[in-house]
Structure 1
Amino acid sequence: MIPADVLARFEETTGFMPTEEGEALHAVARGARAGTWLEIGTYCGKSTVLLADAARQVGARLVTVDHHHGSEENQPGWEWHDESLVDADSGRLDTLPHFRRVLDENADVLSAIVADTRLVATWWTTPLELLFLDGNHTEETAQQDYTQFARHLVPEGLLLVHDVFPDPADGGQAPWNVVRRAVAEGFEQIAVHGSLRVLRRS
């Protein structure tokens, strides 16, 4: 069960994860081993709230990576653009100030990297027990994030992919293609919770 205060913070944090999928994310993460967990795609920290609480419960450490200027679908003129997240001075979407509270409240288990994943991938070497892919959903970036970070998952490590829609009518195909590739490369799919897929490295 998600503690009531954690669930309340999750529900009030700006983001796109449905509560049912958030509950599944939390439950899966609580079953992961201690060590380093990595979240790709922070936005305002909605899913980060749940991962941080689960990390605290099992003794893990969570790192979340995002440049905080939003993906393509968050930009002006796109369906998921939120004008309230635009910085008045720069005119750019900026989710970092909205994430600050989540970071401060979970500073005992959470570290944040504010950078493009392509840059982080050039120096990341830490083995991972859990990898949550929920970043940019263009085909190029989604595949790149999988390529660069899934290789750091240890045997039996968990790969979680969000916004997976096999039917193109339901959403973009990049996360689905990542899941198909992961299975073809030896990952075992062990659970499906809405658009959240859970896989284990063999």
Structure 2
Amino acid sequence: MTERIRWRNPAMWLVALLVVNSLWSAVASQEAPNEVNSPSQTETYREIVVAPVAELDRALPARMEVSFSAPNTDSGAIGYIILLNNETKVVEWRGDLGDEVPQWSGTLEPGTYTIETVVDEGIVAQQELFIRPFEAYQLEGHIVLSLLLVFLAFTEQGIRTLAKKYKQPEVSDNQELSPFKKMQSGGPDLEHVYDQDSPWREPLR
């Protein structure tokens, strides 16, 4: 029983470590959607700002879903271009309506991006940019959270040890007194009682 109690606390911290890291993995894989164009509103130029996380200029994983459609025509030019600060070309694709449109995925440095959509008249685009801002810091997050939990585990164990070391036994201030008075053997009162109750007492005169 003692051995089971001894291993219970480390086992609970191990479970907490697994749970916290699983939650961080789920958070890091979350995507932030940014709508570029929709069938109801298609614009040639759209700007999207990718902000740095925690003031660190690390590239963030991203992907863009693209599709083109035209209700009244079967042909036309389509395409898209992504530019960083209107200078650096990230990706460019051009084709014709009906071609298979490649779905872009890669990384984006913090900055302002211009997405140029190429469509002929009567063609609409559906474009959405997904950014995973925390995935670039997933490893660092696992390390920091794990070290923090280990520190808390050792701190908690140290506090328990100190508490047991300095714990004093509780003394009750209201001690119950016995209602009976202890009689001492051989006292004069006791001898007097014995003399009166004895069947061999001296007869009265």
TM-score of the aligned structures, taking structure 1 as reference length: 0.22
From the two aligned structures, give the one with the greater strand fraction.
2
From the two aligned structures, give the one with the greater helix fraction.
1
TM-score of the aligned structures, taking structure 2 as reference length: 0.22
